[in-house]
């Protein structure tokens, strides 16, 4: 639950496991032209509710996370209760992944969501 001004917004439990109901994550990353892309399909994961651990965001699209490196993903709860994941902008060793900051966000996430988790 969170507040938008004086309005209380209740959120519901989400199950994004492969065997759970179809609560799907909307993923955000850049395309080759530098534009934000929102994707609810499968991207390097076995189910639409999972987050790929294979890619990170660059200004010109997704790039592979290196061997023995970590990606950072930012989970947001949209005011309508949907889950949005913004891909991090680097491939890190663990200590640097833990220190990574929230990247610049797409308007739909920045203006209508609240940060729920940092996923490494």
Could you report the average pLDDT of every consecutive run of 10 residues in the chain (120 residues)?
72 64 76 88 53 89 94 91 90 96 95 92
116 contact partners, CB below 8 Å, separation of at least 6: 75, 76, 77, 83
pTM as predicted: 0.82
Domain of residue 13: give its range. Answer: 2-119
pLDDT of residue 44: 46
Looking at the structure of the chain, the number of domains it has is: 1
- Token pair for 51: 């987050």
Q: Write out the E strands in 5-101.
A: 7-9, 25-30, 36-39, 55-58, 61-64, 73-78, 83-87
């Amino acid at each position: 639950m969170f507040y938008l001004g004086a309005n209380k917004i209740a959120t519901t439990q989400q199950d994004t496991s492969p065997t759970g109901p179809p609560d799907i994550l909307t993923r955000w990353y850049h395309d080759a032209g530098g534009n934000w892309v929102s994707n609810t399909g499968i991207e390097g994961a076995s189910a639409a509710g999972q987050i790929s651990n294979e890619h990170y965001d660059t200004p010109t699209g997704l790039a592979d996370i290196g061997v023995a490196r970590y990606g950072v993903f930012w989970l947001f709860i949209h005011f309508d209760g949907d889950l949005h994941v913004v891909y991090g902008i680097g491939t890190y060793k663990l200590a640097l992944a833990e220190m990574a900051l929230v990247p610049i966000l797409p308007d739909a996430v920045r203006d209508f969501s609240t940060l729920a988790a940092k996923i490494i």
